[in-house]
Amino acid sequence: MDPIVGMLYSMVENNYQRLKSIVAGMDQEELEYKGPSQNDNSTAQLLRHLMYVDLNWVYRIRGKVIPKELEDRYGPMLDKNNQLPQVTDISLEVLLNEYDYVLSLLKSVCCQLTDKDLLQTVEYEDGNEATIQWGIWHLADHNRYHQAHINQLRKWFNTYN
């Protein structure tokens, strides 16, 4: 990878490895736990959300639409109530294997990018535009952001269960 592309990808990869260490050892009950009032997003929902956002960026960078089979497997972004879709009865191992696959796609895309490519803009979210560089940085930042939610869920789970 070109130097800046490699640095950005490393941020994503390192945050993903940190995320995996945060969720390590979660059983199904904790994975699906939705907070003390049962109205927060579960760790399972957040993992699926993160991988779906990452997948969207892989295909934006490629300039392609997500294939239907991947859209069906990882999506949608929101359900009919404008909430993260429910994720139940899917083990942590399966979720992480699915996320590993998305990260492998991202790595493949990044291996094909040059530092100059990072300045190209792509369309995202309702016609807005962002550079590819911002998009890859956003993936790392977005992952870190939801790690805080998952850490809070773990604290609540250990306190209230």
Greater confidence (68 vs 126) lies with 68
Q: What is the pLDDT of the chain when averaged over all its residues? A: 97
- Domains annotated on the chain, with CATH: 3-158 (1.20.120.450)
pLDDT at 9: 98
In the chain, the amino acid numbered 52 is Y
pLDDT at 125: 83
pLDDT at 140: 96
Phi-psi region of 23 (alpha: psi -120 to 50; beta: other; left: phi over 0): alpha
Rounded alpha-carbon distances, angstroms, from residue 141 to 25, 30, 64, 80: 24, 24, 23, 27
Q: What is the mean pLDDT of residues 112-127?
A: 94
Prediction pTM value: 0.96
Q: Max alpha carbon distance in the chain (Å)?
A: 51
Predicted confidence (pLDDT) per residue in 80-113, tens digit: 999 999 999 999 999 999 999 999 999 999 999 9
Greater confidence (160 vs 149) lies with 149
pLDDT at 124: 87
Query: How far is residue 153 CA from its own chain's centroid?
Result: 17
pLDDT of 135 above 90: yes
SS3 of residue 122 by DSSP? strand
pLDDT at 127: 87
Predicted confidence (pLDDT) per residue in 20-64, tens digit: 999 999 999 999 999 999 999 999 999 999 999 999 999 999 999
